[in-house]
């Protein structure tokens, strides 16, 4: 088993459901190999930290709950897995949630898989931005989490900027992606050369390629979310290319 703070949080969420046959997160299969262990650590940390960040401003909004439930829908969790995810979310909301210990163990479990850690941060930022604002207390936790996982302040700001652009794209009307959002999604400025644009696109696609993320430990249930991210990156690249041709 995972052991440590993550194991404790995971066990508290499962309760008496260890023998229910929860697919990739069942006690009998979740720890059979390195990838499966990382998947369990990712699942546990993701939903418990979602609850912790949602509670950071003093109350959990309906929008934040909706985002958590929408992620569960995207993952197509069965009824038992969904219960575990909801319990993990509630564990993160508790006053005594060991955020530092959980993050430190999660970093170790990921074995320096930067792409996974980045995907985790993107999910947490997505939750924090779900109500349209980034509360000061939420910002503090996100900055702390990024630092605990090994990201520099500049790297965190770059991830935050990309996620703000992606949220704007996903909530935009039918007129499509703006050029400004496209550049922000790729993490470059309008003054970037064509070669720099292509390099940024390839870098982002490499970091968010669904198959690569799953092979490194992203739960397979999160494949659809990774696919959406990759599609947004591709759309951003096409938007920039079209603009430059014009």
List, for residues 80-105, the tens digit of each pLDDT value.
888 888 999 999 999 889 999 999 99
Token pair belonging to 151: 């990201």
Closest CA to 149 of 115, 126, 189, 191: 115
**Span of 16-30, 65-79, 149-163 with lowest mean pLDDT:** 16-30
List, for residues 141-192, the tens digit of each pLDDT value.
999 999 999 999 999 999 999 888 888 777 655 456 888 889 998 989 999 9
Token pair belonging to 225: 């979310």
- Per-residue confidence at 46, pLDDT binned at 50, 70, 90? very high
Token pair belonging to 58: 């003093």
How far apart are alpha carbons 219 and 223 in whole angstroms? 7
Domain count along the chain: 1
Residue 173 has a pLDDT of: 52
| No. of helices (H) and no. of strands (E), the chain | 12, 0
How far apart are alpha carbons 183 and 13 in whole angstroms? 40
Average per-residue pLDDT for the chain: 83
Q: Residue 69 is part of which domain span?
A: 4-245
């Amino acid at each position: 088993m995972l052991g440590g703070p993550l194991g404790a949080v995971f066990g508290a969420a499962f309760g008496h459901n260890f023998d229910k046959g929860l697919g990739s997160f069942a006690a009998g299969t979740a720890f059979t190999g390195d990838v499966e262990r990382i998947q369990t650590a990712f699942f546990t940390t993701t939903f418990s930290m979602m609850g912790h960040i949602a509670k950071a401003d003093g109350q959990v909004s309906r929008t934040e709950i909706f985002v958590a439930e929408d992620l569960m829908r995207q993952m197509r969790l069965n009824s038992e897995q969904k219960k575990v995810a909801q319990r993990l979310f509630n564990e993160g909301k508790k006053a005594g949630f060991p955020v530092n210990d959980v993050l430190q163990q999660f970093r170790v479990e990921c074995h320096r898989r930067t792409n996974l850690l980045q995907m985790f941060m993107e999910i947490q930022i997505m939750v924090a931005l779900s109500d349209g604002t980034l509360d000061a207390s939420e910002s503090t936790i996100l900055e702390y989490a990024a630092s605990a996982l090994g990201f520099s302040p500049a790297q965190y700001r770059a991830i935050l900027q990309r996620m703000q652009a992606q949220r704007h794209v996903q909530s935009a009307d039918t007129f499509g992606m703006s050029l400004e959002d496209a550049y922000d999604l790729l993490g470059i400025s309008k003054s970037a050369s064509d070669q720099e644009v292509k390099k940024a696109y390839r870098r982002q696609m490499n970091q968010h390629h669904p198959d690569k993320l799953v092979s490194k430990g992203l739960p397979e249930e999160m494949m659809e979310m990774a696919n959406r991210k990759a599609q947004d990156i591709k759309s951003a690249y096409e938007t920039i290319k079209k603009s430059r041709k014009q």
